[in-house]
Amino acid sequence: MKTAMITGITGQDGAYLAKFLLNKGYNIIGLVRNNSGINMKNLKYLDIDDKINFIKVDLLNLSNIVRIIEKNEIDEIYNLAAQSSVGLSFSHPIETLEFNIVSTAKLLEAIRNTNPKIKYYQASSSEMFGNVKKESLPINENFLLRPVSPYGISKAASHWITVNYREAHNLFAVCGICFNHESVLRNKNFVTKKIINTAVKINLGLADELRLGNIRVCRDWGYAPKYVEAMWLMLQQDNPDDYIISSGEVHSLEEFVVKVFEKLNLNVDKFVKIDESLYRPNDLEINYGDNSKAKNKLNWKYNMSFDQLIYKLVDDEIEFIK
């Protein structure tokens, strides 16, 4: 039986990954913050909160991480913990940069000093690429990183730290460069969750308007439970490498809103208000990814269309709110 250690286990991806690995027979160690109670909401929703060995740790404390790795026989580490919101990273740049970058370096340094055979997954992000010229899209693994937010900068730094430990110290360390992926477990401070949650509430008579910032931005949205499978596949290969994980489709946020409201038979113009105070200081206009390397080399199968994704998210949100 293999043992996987997951940082960020209480988040969207951490919860789905833990469920996926439990189904494969893994032992799961979930690292959680040592300065607050454990946020069990997502793990309870997936009914796995009692199947995980939780360990409280400060991921900025190297000796704490070293002690955990020395005490447990760990095969794989998935580093998903991060301040993961682009929007929040503008108001909290120092915390975002400090935690996201230093925790990655400390985890890799702990592996190097204790058990370099451990396989390591780093949660990289499409936000690392910044604004790419439309004619150059879709983005592949070889594109230049030119992030435009503190979050993107923190992920770019963590990405290169991971590549550096792979090349300089021969660690099996990989980066999954994920584009946006959604689910009913998406954190409330993400616009997609806000749209779906508010639309469902409007439908139930529990809300009367949806205020949004710039809805002209275009993104590549996928379904989170399928993305965690790609993370695992990356650690099952003979050689470590980095992969774009994306749906390969691109749509505007406006299309996203319209599709959600259509599904609920609601009139968009009546309920949606544009509020310029919600615009970000700097935003990516459009991005989408080329997932062919992941599909060909990992044999990762992703075939959910945009419409199917939206319908699934709306249906799940209705159940969730009930």
Give the interface with ligand NAP as residue ranges (CB under 6 A). Answer: 8, 10-14, 33, 39, 59, 80-84, 99, 123, 125, 178, 180-181, 187
The two tokens of residue 243 are: 């992969």
**Cβ of residue 178: shortest distance to ligand NAP, in angstroms?**
4
Radius of gyration of the chain (CA): 19
Select 99 or 302, whichever has its Cβ closest to ligand NAP: 99
Summary count for the chain: helices (H), strands (E): 12, 13
Tell me the residue nearest to ligand NAP as measured from the CB.
11
DSSP state of 138: S
Q: Answer yes or no: are the C-beta atoms of 216 and 252 closer than 8 Å.
A: yes
**Cβ of residue 198: shortest distance to ligand NAP, in angstroms?**
19
Helices (H), the chain: 12-23, 41-45, 62-71, 86-91, 93-114, 150-169, 191-203, 224-235, 253-263, 268-271, 292-297, 306-321
The two tokens of residue 263 are: 């599904």
Q: Answer yes or no: are the C-beta atoms of 138 and 144 closer than 8 Å.
A: no
Task: Give the active site residues.
Answer: 125, 127, 151
Select 39 or 170, whichever has its Cβ closest to ligand NAP: 39
Select 187 or 267, whichever has its Cβ closest to ligand NAP: 187
**Cβ of residue 121: shortest distance to ligand NAP, in angstroms?**
10
**Cβ of residue 35: shortest distance to ligand NAP, in angstroms?**
8
Select 193 or 259, whichever has its Cβ closest to ligand NAP: 193
